[in-house]
């Protein structure tokens, strides 16, 4: 007994020692870092400190290196803290050499880029990635993107974008993870960990969460537009993903373009200091968005000089492109509108990020010119991209099991996106190899090999006129326009399709119909494509729509009239192969929507976690004096969490371990899921709760958990979720994060509209 006691004491002593040592080591490291940065700061002139806050555009940099122009001169004179969106290790290394060999204090550069969904190997657009509901997978895409980007000189990515949005008119929904704060937060965390992981490693990079904050709530879905929302909604629905990313250790954050409470985010002290620093304890640095500081002049809050002061006073540390800090800080200091201390603090934060990246120890840590050839766009990465793409597809309709296709069938591939590679990676794919991407037609042919039984016709262009098309095809993501008369194209398409057993129509949006500055007021697929589908429909053959889109679309006619719809978003570089493998059933679709698809634009904003109102509608159709529309039912076309499979999953036996949950308890919810169809497959099981009565009107349901499970055909599994009190909390109007005693509904199901329900009580 005594021996045992001694042993316990000994272990406790050792354990304490280890803890103390590691804490001592961390604080030791922190001291070394602080000393290094403070010493450096002492050596810096005011101009050099201001220079660190400058993130200029590097458009002319290639010629600049040679001509000693623009950016290069600025780097030499210590006027640049970082550069961005410059691609190519040689050029980046050359600029880093300028900073290290030709600037007085040899301070290395941050090298940023919009590595949003892959580097050269393109992954599905973020909205597509989110449809996998697979956090490990998403984290791995960020890891791989970081590995490729870092091999090419990049040490900082402007990702993840975590803006919650419930308005598909806003084109930037393509860059985010949809409408739900819980799922959005989990994905935000996964991505930050994927990019940053262990920053001491040369294959991990600094992440920049964006756009802080509430950018996804731009009025009317119009990009860059104003935002106005209650604090209650802000804290409960829009802020959680930013907070999750910061808690996961994101090293930087980007101020949004919009205003909040009539103050531009870039000059919003409440946002960037009170909330971000004081409440959330953020330790990294804040960068403005592209010309965000000078844009405050347009917002109407002051001139350039005042905008600079507002931004620095609010908490912006780095000025992207605006050069307002560079040009005005000295004057602002002389006029006592800002203090040198503020410049010191901002400068220290940027130096600190460079220190954490290991750039002071080795400024060429990300400039190993041997890595790029070996580590970028590798076979392994491309294969992984294909696996991810397959998991992002969402099967929206599959009448008479027209999918999966049989190899014996003759397939007609038709549509503007059938034979186009450069649009496959989608929006914001700055570094992606567009021309090496795989089109649908190419993927199908490669997949089927010698057995290929494919016929092809263009059918129609993306949109009717070349003039209109220009708007949708910037950045080289063009289409080869077919100049033939439309009737000739239809004739050819119907003639070719009539020889086939099944028609695959590859259509929808072009890559640049969503993304930044791509808001749309009408969300149908372009009219000419719809007309083409109508012509094909007259043939009476099964039609499968392979839908490319960066946002929820209005698909009422398509849903009524086509046999199958598979939403492939923009799948990345391996698009065509991934699509072929799913169409032929090598992979059974498992993706689920993370944004609600409306029936028409008038329903927007439409989202699953809405309030009940005092006059809820009890059926799908119009009732006088209830909250609904006269001319369309209140339901969405496809609800949040929706996605079909080639097989069928049956839910039963929802049970709770107890009827009541106390503050310290854990409630176990169990449910049985059976794969009673004819294919093996993944199912994403979703858990929702509903606070039946509380002091602030609750949403009708809120996602609280999910699990991706694999079931062989015929197999069934009982799975469990743990419910604890913190999952039931919300922010009240004094912004206390609380839960209230009372009755809750618990729901588990295959999508937000199809759930099994039970009840429990929360007892404080």
Chain contacts with ligand NOJ (rule: CB under 6 A)? 85, 114, 158, 210, 289-290, 516
Q: DSSP 3-state assignment of 759?
A: strand
Q: Which residues are catalytic?
A: 289
Given the DSSP bridges, would you call strands 681-691 and 319-320 parallel, antiparallel or unpaired? unpaired
Contact, 220 vs 169, CB < 8 A?
Answer: yes
Burial class, 66, CB count within 10 angstroms (exposed 0-12 / middle 13-18 / buried 19+): exposed
CA-nearest of 427, 423, 449 to 437 is: 423
Supply the minimum distance, in Å, between the C-beta of residue 156 and ligand NOJ: 11
Supply the minimum distance, in Å, between the C-beta of residue 173 and ligand NOJ: 13
CA-nearest of 279, 259, 267, 272 to 215 is: 259
> Which residue number, 295 or 501, has a Cβ lying nearer to ligand NOJ?
295
> Which residue number, 285 or 730, has a Cβ lying nearer to ligand NOJ?
285
> Which residue number, 160 or 636, has a Cβ lying nearer to ligand NOJ?
160
Give CA–CA dist 221/552, Å, rounded.
Answer: 13
State the number of CA atoms in the 13 A half-sphere of 59 facing the CB.
2
Q: Which residues contact 227 (CB under 8 A, 6 or more apart)?
A: 214, 215, 217, 218, 219, 258, 259, 260
Supply the minimum distance, in Å, between the C-beta of residue 236 and ligand NOJ: 25
Give CA–CA dist 295/291, Å, rounded.
Answer: 6
> Which residue number, 158 or 456, has a Cβ lying nearer to ligand NOJ?
158
Supply the minimum distance, in Å, between the C-beta of residue 289 and ligand NOJ: 5
Q: Which residue is nearest to ligand NOJ (CB)?
A: 158
Supply the minimum distance, in Å, between the C-beta of residue 176 and ligand NOJ: 11
Beta strand residue intervals within 666-726, DSSP E? 667-675, 681-691, 702-711, 716-723
Supply the minimum distance, in Å, between the C-beta of residue 453 and ligand NOJ: 44
DSSP codes of every residue in 547-599: EE-SS----HHHHHH-SEEEE-----TTHHHHHHHHHTTSS------SSPBPS
Adjacency order of strands within the sheet including 649-656: 649-656, 667-675, 716-723
Supply the minimum distance, in Å, between the C-beta of residue 591 and ligand NOJ: 25
Give CA–CA dist 562/599, Å, rounded.
Answer: 16
**Residue 716 β-bridge partners:** 674
> Which residue number, 171 or 416, has a Cβ lying nearer to ligand NOJ?
171
> Which residue number, 114 or 558, has a Cβ lying nearer to ligand NOJ?
114
> Which residue number, 83 or 457, has a Cβ lying nearer to ligand NOJ?
83
Burial class, 425, CB count within 10 angstroms (exposed 0-12 / middle 13-18 / buried 19+): buried
384 backbone dihedrals φ, ψ, rounded to 5°: -65, -40
Burial class, 630, CB count within 10 angstroms (exposed 0-12 / middle 13-18 / buried 19+): exposed
- Indicate the helix (H) or strand (E) that contains 32: helix 2-43
> Which residue number, 516 or 633, has a Cβ lying nearer to ligand NOJ?
516
Supply the minimum distance, in Å, between the C-beta of residue 718 and ligand NOJ: 44
């Amino acid at each position: 007994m005594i021996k045992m006691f001694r042993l316990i004491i000994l272990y406790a002593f050792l354990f304490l020692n280890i803890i103390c040592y590691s804490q001592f080591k961390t604080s030791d490291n922190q001291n070394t870092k602080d000393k290094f940065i403070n010493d450096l700061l002492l050596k810096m002139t005011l101009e050099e400190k201001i220079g660190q806050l400058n993130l200029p555009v590097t458009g002319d940099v290639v010629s600049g290196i040679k001509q000693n122009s623009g950016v290069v001169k600025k780097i030499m004179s210590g006027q640049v803290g970082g550069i961005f969106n410059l691609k190519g290790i040689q050029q980046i290394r050359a600029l880093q050499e300028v900073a290290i060999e030709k600037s007085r204090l040899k301070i290395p550069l941050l090298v940023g880029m919009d590595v949003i969904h892959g580097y050269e190997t393109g992954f599905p657009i973020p909205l597509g990635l989110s449809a996998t509901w697979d956090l490990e997978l998403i984290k791995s895409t960020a890891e791989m993107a970081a590995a490729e980007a870092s091999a090419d000189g990049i040490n900082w990515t402007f990702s993840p974008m975590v803006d919650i949005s419930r308005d598909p008119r806003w084109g930037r929904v393509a860059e985010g993870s949809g409408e739900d704060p819980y799922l959005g937060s989990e994905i935000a965390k996964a991505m930050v960990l994927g990019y940053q992981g262990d920053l001491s490693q040369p294959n991990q990079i600094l992440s920049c969460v964006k756009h802080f904050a509430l950018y996804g709530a731009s009025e009317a879905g119009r990009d860059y537009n104003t935002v106005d929302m209650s604090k209650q909604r802000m804290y409960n629905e829009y802020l959680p993903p930013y907070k999750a990313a910061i808690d996961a250790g994101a090293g930087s954050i980007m101020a949004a373009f919009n205003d909040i409470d009539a103050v531009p985010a870039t000059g919003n002290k409440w946002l960037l200091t009170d909330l971000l620093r004081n409440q959330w304890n953020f330790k990294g640095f804040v960068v403005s968005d592209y010309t965000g500081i000078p844009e405050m002049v347009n917002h109407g809050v002051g001139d350039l000089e005042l905008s600079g002061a507002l931004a620095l006073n609010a908490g912006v540390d780095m000025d992207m492109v605006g050069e307002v800090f560079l040009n005005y800080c000295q004057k602002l200091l002389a006029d006592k509108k800002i203090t040198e201390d503020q410049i010191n603090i901002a400068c220290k934060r940027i130096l600190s990020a460079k220190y954490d990246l290991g750039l002071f120890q080795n400024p060429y840590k990300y400039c190993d010119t041997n890595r790029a050839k070996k580590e970028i766009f590798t076979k392994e990465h491309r294969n992984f991209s294909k696996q991810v793409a397959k998991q992002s597809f969402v099967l929206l309709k599959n009448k008479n099991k027209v999918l999966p296709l049989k190899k014996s069938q003759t397939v007609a591939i038709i549509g503007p996106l059938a034979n186009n590679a450069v649009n496959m990676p989608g929006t914001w794919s700055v570094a992606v190899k567009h021309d090496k991407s795989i089109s649908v037609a190419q993927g199908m042919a490669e997949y089927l090999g010698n057995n290929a039984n494919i016929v092809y016709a263009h059918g129609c262009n993306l949109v009717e006129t070349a003039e209109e098309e220009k708007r949708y095809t910037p950045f080289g993501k063009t289409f080869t326009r077919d100049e033939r008369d439309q009737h000739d194209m239809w004739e050819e398409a119907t003639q070719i399709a009539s020889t086939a057993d099944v028609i695959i129509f590859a259509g929808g949006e072009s890559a640049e119909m969503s993304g930044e500055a791509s808001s749309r007021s009408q969300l149908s697929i372009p009219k000419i494509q719809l007309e083409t589908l109508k012509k094909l429909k007259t043939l009476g053959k099964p039609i499968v729509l392979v839908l490319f889109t960066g946002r929820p679309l209005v698909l009422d006619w398509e849903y009524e009239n086509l046999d199958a719809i598979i939403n492939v978003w923009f799948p990345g570089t391996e698009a065509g192969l991934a699509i072929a493998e799913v169409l032929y059933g090598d992979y059974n679709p498992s993706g689920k929507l993370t944004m609600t698809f409306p029936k028409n634009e008038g329903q927007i904003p439409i989202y699953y976690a809405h309030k009940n109102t005092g006059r809820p509608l009890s059926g799908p159709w119009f009732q006088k004096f209830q909250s609904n529309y006269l001319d369309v039912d209140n339901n969405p076309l496809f609800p949040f969490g929706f996605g079909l499979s080639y097989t069928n999953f049956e839910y039963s036996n929802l049970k709770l371990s107890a009827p009541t949950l106390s503050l310290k308890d854990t409630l176990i919810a169990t449910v049985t899921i059976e794969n009673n169809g004819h294919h093996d497959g993944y199912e994403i099981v979703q858990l929702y709760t509903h606070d039946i009565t509380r002091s602030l009107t609750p949403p009708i349901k809120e996602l609280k958990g999910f699990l991706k499970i694999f079931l062989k055909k015929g197999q069934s599994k009982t799975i469990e979720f743990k419910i604890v009190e913190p999952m039931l909390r919300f922010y009240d109007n004094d912004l206390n994060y609380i839960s209230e005693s009372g009755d809750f509904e618990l729901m588990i199901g295959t999508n937000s509209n199809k759930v099994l329900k039970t009840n429990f009580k929360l007892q404080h």
